[in-house]
Amino acid sequence: MGQSVDLNGAALQIFNHHLYELAKGMRPLAMMTMTAAAAGPVIARLEGRGIAHHVHEACPERVNVVFGCRPAVKAVRGFMVGPLCELSAEHDFMLGVLLGYDREMQCVRYLARSDAAAAAVETAAAAPPLLAIPPDHYALEPGDLAM
């Protein structure tokens, strides 16, 4: 994970393969994670070919370069604003499908994430409030409304 990515060797082959798959319509979107320095030549090549792209900070040392068809890049730009691990179940599903991941596995992942989120909400709702007030605390006494 901590190795740097430059446009030599394997990284260049992966980038070229992504461009090939995009050109053939095999996927609408591709994403590469790399250092900001390595992203410069990638972005220049994408701009030179007129390919839509979005640069998203993955962490202080690395960026995600997302590229492909304009509607897919525009959709991703709208929800890819924080760490990828914090995407909603729906946005995680959309990103995975757009990147060409196995659809059935994305459905399983979505269901697991959405069930976990629903369980967390149910647990929070079932928990007593931090400052529990006895239920009869606000009960009115017979003479409270008399003026």
Residues 62 and 104 in one domain: no
The one-letter code for the residue type at 56 is H
Residue 124: predicted pLDDT: 65
C-alpha to C-alpha distance for 40 and 111, rounded to whole angstroms: 37
28 assigned to some structural domain: yes
Question: What does pTM read for this prediction?
Answer: 0.73
> pLDDT per residue over 63-80, tens digit each?
999 999 999 999 999 999
C-alpha to C-alpha distance for 86 and 145, rounded to whole angstroms: 50
In terms of phi and psi (left: phi > 0; alpha: psi -120 to 50; beta: otherwise), the region of 145 is: alpha
Residue percentage of the chain with pLDDT more than 90 = 59
Residues 71 and 2 in one domain: yes
**What is the mean predicted confidence (pLDDT) over 18-40?**
93
pLDDT exceeds cutoff 90 at 135: no
Residues 70 and 102 in one domain: no
Residue 17: predicted pLDDT: 95
